[in-house]
Amino acid sequence: MKTRVLHIIYSFFDGGAEHLIATLASRADPKHFVHGICVLGSGGKMVSDLRRKGVQVALLEKRKGPDPGIARRISRHISTVLPDVIHLHGCPAGFWGTAASFFGGKNIPVVRTEHRPWLPDALPFMYRSTYRWQAARASRIIAVSEHARRSFLASFPALGEKFVTIHNGIDPGDFDREARGGRSREQCRKWFGLPRGALVIGTVGRLVPVKNHLLLLGAFARVKSSVPEAHLAILGGGELENAILSEAARLGLRESISIIPPTPAVPLFLGALDIFALSSDYEGLPLSILEAYASGLPAVATSAGGIPEVVEDGVNGYLCPPKDAAALAAGIAKLAADPSLRAGMGEKGRLRVAAHFTAPRCVAETEKIYARVLRDLSR
């Protein structure tokens, strides 16, 4: 018999948690697993893509703000699909999914994935104050980085045996030159309207405070003063777009940056870059840096969250403290000055991702967790 897994998540647009769920659902061993998804709110293109692949996705359209009826709707959905394992993603889904399972009397093992480190100050009171109860209900809790796992253990040491690290993974072949149709760097730049002769520094990520694009812009301003041909390309959309553009104009850099709306053509975008940069204040384990390395790019990144588990400082890129524009600029400048260094670090990053951060490895390790919790339940 196949194991039925139901993923529960708050929304389903284009984030790391959504991509992990899509990877687990689309790459599952079809002889042994079938995945469904319950979205508390709404979703975007990823929902239709998964439905075309035969994955069942239910959108419960939770109202913004208080919506106490959501637990009852989740419980009804669980009763309809009868999963063998419930897999919760993120704090809102973790809270409401746990409540639906617990108060609905569903004796179904629960697995959680924590996509970020434990940052209680960033969570609403209801979620952080009940986390111990939620975690106690889970059979296993997966952290996407060792840093994230340790951050939870520091606050909840009694739950230590529940936590396990499973690093995020991608398919490196989705980001090599063949994946972008054999297009050269110049052809990729033409695709996005980026300057042909520039040294292009780029990043991928939502334009939200935690990604701190304003820090990257400040670092780029320093680089630009010594590398006049430098250009900054940002792929992503979000609430801070106007703030980024305004700051670029204030710095006299408006013509030297490009903000490209979200697109599925991420391999083409990465193929247009010389250097990948990541300026986040905190992270779990960002897929964007794995994708950059799979594309053969060197990286300069803050040492936030699980990033140092991928970026080996001075080996495949450079690390700098979060919120330090000068250090971020210094790393970029080193790579900007040395094409052979860029090529060597990019190749080392590519090999590291291929060895340790692949989708098949991530899926296989997660499926072992499902099998283990079901085996424990049957004892």
How many other CB atoms sit within 10 Å of the CB of residue 346?
23
Q: Are residues 140 and 212 in the same domain?
A: no
**Percent over 70 (pLDDT), the chain:** 99
Number of domains in the chain: 2
Q: What are phi and psi of 57, to 5 degrees?
A: -125, 120
For residue 213, give the H/E element and its range: helix 213-226
Q: Are residues 219 and 317 in the same domain?
A: yes
| Contact call for residues 115 and 144 (beta carbons, < 8 A) | yes
Q: Are residues 213 and 305 in the same domain?
A: yes
How does pLDDT run across 141-184, given as a tens digit for each residue?
Answer: 999 999 999 999 999 999 989 999 999 999 999 998 888 999 99
Answer whether residue 311 shows pLDDT above 80. Answer: yes
CATH code, domain carrying 60: 3.40.50.2000
pTM of the model: 0.94
| Contact call for residues 216 and 203 (beta carbons, < 8 A) | yes
Give the mean pLDDT of 33-54. 94
Q: Are residues 149 and 185 in the same domain?
A: no
Q: Are residues 246 and 298 in the same domain?
A: yes
What are the C-alpha distances in Å from 308 to residues 20, 25, 245, 283, 305? 20, 28, 30, 11, 7
Whole-angstrom distance, CA of residue 231 vs CA of residue 302: 20
Start-to-end CA distance of the chain, whole Å, equals 18
Give me the pLDDT at residue 65, please. 78
DSSP string, 243-284: HHHHHHHHTT-GGGEEEE---S-HHHHHHT-SEEEE--S--S
Chain-centroid distance of CA 362 in Å reads 13
For residue 139, give the H/E element and its range: none
Q: Are residues 247 and 190 in the same domain?
A: yes
Whole-angstrom distance, CA of residue 285 vs CA of residue 307: 6
Q: Are residues 265 and 276 in the same domain?
A: yes
Q: What is the edge-to-edge ordering of all strands in the sheet holding 299-302? A: 257-260, 230-235, 199-204, 275-278, 299-302, 317-320
Those residues whose C-beta lies under 8 Å from the C-beta of residue 48, and which sit 6 or more positions away, are none
Span of 69-73, 317-321, 344-348 with lowest mean pLDDT: 69-73
Which residues in the chain belong to E strands, given as ranges? 3-9, 33-39, 56-59, 85-89, 110-114, 140-143, 163-165, 199-204, 230-235, 257-260, 275-278, 299-302, 317-320
Give me the pLDDT at residue 344, please. 98
Give the mean pLDDT of 369-377. 93
Confidence band (pLDDT; 50, 70, 90) for 68? confident
Whole-angstrom distance, CA of residue 92 vs CA of residue 114: 12
Q: Are residues 313 and 176 in the same domain?
A: yes
Q: Are residues 364 and 307 in the same domain?
A: no
Whole-angstrom distance, CA of residue 304 vs CA of residue 186: 32
Give the mean pLDDT of 340-344. 98
Return the DSSP state at 178. G
Answer whether residue 44 shows pLDDT above 80. Answer: yes
Residue type, 305: G
Q: Are residues 240 and 212 in the same domain?
A: yes
Confidence band (pLDDT; 50, 70, 90) for 271? very high
Whole-angstrom distance, CA of residue 102 vs CA of residue 293: 42
Q: Are residues 325 and 215 in the same domain?
A: yes
DSSP string, 52-81: HTT-EEEE--PPSS--TTHHHHHHHHHHHH
Q: Are residues 228 and 280 in the same domain?
A: yes
Identify the domain containing residue 16 by its residue range: 3-169+359-378
State the burial class of residue 1 (Cβ atoms within 10 Å of its Cβ: 0-12, 13-18, 19+): exposed
